[in-house]
Amino acid sequence: METLLTRPEIQSAAAPLLVALAVGLILRAFGRPWPLLGAVVGFLATAWLINGLQFTPLTGARKIIVIAAAAGVVGVLADVMPRLRARPVWLALFSAGAALWLIWKVLARREGVDLMVVGAPAVAYVMWLTLCLDFGRRAEIPTLAAGLALALGTGAVSILSASALLGQLAFGLGAAIGGVFLLVVFWKDSVAGAVFTVPVGILAGLIGYAGYVFAKVPWYALAVLAIVPLAAHIPLPKAWPRIVRAAVHTLLGVIVSAVAVGVVWWLMEDSGGY
């Protein structure tokens, strides 16, 4: 059993999917949008299997795990306060704080323009993805499709760009989104909610940007991935069955993600292992 839990396909696919699905089914009794909390819980299952409960030294990857838990709490708070004034501002501030904390050790060694060149895009990227997903939360299928395509694209780009750890975390997020997506597809009365959009947007942004700062993810791959939420939200006829719309919205997002992955793949001198 212990050996089984160390396998990447269990850690980053089967376990998060099943945990997200189970949490979604349990929380379904509480109505919308709580089942979608399964996405961040599924991600935390992946994080636990990969990292355990060790948080020292507090590396960037471990900060991502801490932020995931915090983002889940922020998402819950945002959903229990639907009339929260200036909601986008609060979410933007949380996203910015998370992005800066992630790369703080790197920022602390830089000054002036150099500091801005690393810090500003981090804030912009994480904030953009979080707010993009949150603005579209009432259209649950495109929002979940966007999260899924973002996570898968971020995972593939990370693995190709020299960080299996970040890739595994992103794929774990994707599998967890897949788990709750199954519920949404077959459950008509649902909205995405901040319990989904905040952790998923922040995690996709942080893992992607961590890949840029800590590994070799090229900035233009992130620029392409930033378009994923827009592509996944291209309107489709409402008359189409939910399962078809889910498939097409996901496909639209995945096509853009695939462009990012393809660019990274194409620019690699050698795609073989070592």
Partner 1 sequence: MKKLALSVVAGALLVSAAFADSYTIDPNHTYPNFRINHLGFTTIYGRFGATEGKIEYDPAGQKGSVEITIDATSVDTGYQKRDDHLRSPDFLNVAEFPEITFKSTAVKFDGDKPSSITGDLTILGVSKSVTLEVTSANCAEHPFTKKWTCGFDANTAIKRSDFGINYAIPGIGDDMELLFGVEAIIDG
Where does this chain bind partner 1 (CB under 8 A)? 54, 57, 59-61, 105-106, 109, 162-166, 210, 213-216, 269-270, 274
Which residue, 35 or 119, has its beta carbon nearer to partner 1? Answer: 119
Q: In angstroms, give the least distance from the CB of 52 to partner 1.
A: 9
Which residue, 59 or 77, has its beta carbon nearer to partner 1? Answer: 59
Q: In angstroms, give the least distance from the CB of 150 to partner 1.
A: 20
* Structure-block tokens of residue 24: 């979604």
How far apart, in whole angstroms, are the C-alpha atoms of residue 41 and residue 20? 6
Residue 139 zone, left/alpha/beta (φ > 0; ψ -120 to 50; rest): beta
How far apart, in whole angstroms, are the C-alpha atoms of residue 196 and residue 98? 17
Q: In angstroms, give the least distance from the CB of 87 to partner 1.
A: 33
Q: In angstroms, give the least distance from the CB of 173 to partner 1.
A: 16
How far apart, in whole angstroms, are the C-alpha atoms of residue 147 and residue 177? 7
Which residue, 106 or 263, has its beta carbon nearer to partner 1? Answer: 106
Which residue, 157 or 194, has its beta carbon nearer to partner 1? Answer: 157
CA distances from 130 to 55, 152, 171 (A): 25, 16, 18
Q: In angstroms, give the least distance from the CB of 270 to partner 1.
A: 6
Q: In angstroms, give the least distance from the CB of 132 to partner 1.
A: 26
Which residue, 87 or 105, has its beta carbon nearer to partner 1? Answer: 105
How far apart, in whole angstroms, are the C-alpha atoms of residue 132 and residue 65? 22
Max Cα distance, the chain (Å):
55
* Structure-block tokens of residue 230: 């827009």
CA distances from 60 to 14, 63, 95, 241, 263 (A): 25, 5, 15, 41, 25
Total Cβ atoms within 10 A of residue 175: 30
Which residue, 99 or 231, has its beta carbon nearer to partner 1? Answer: 99
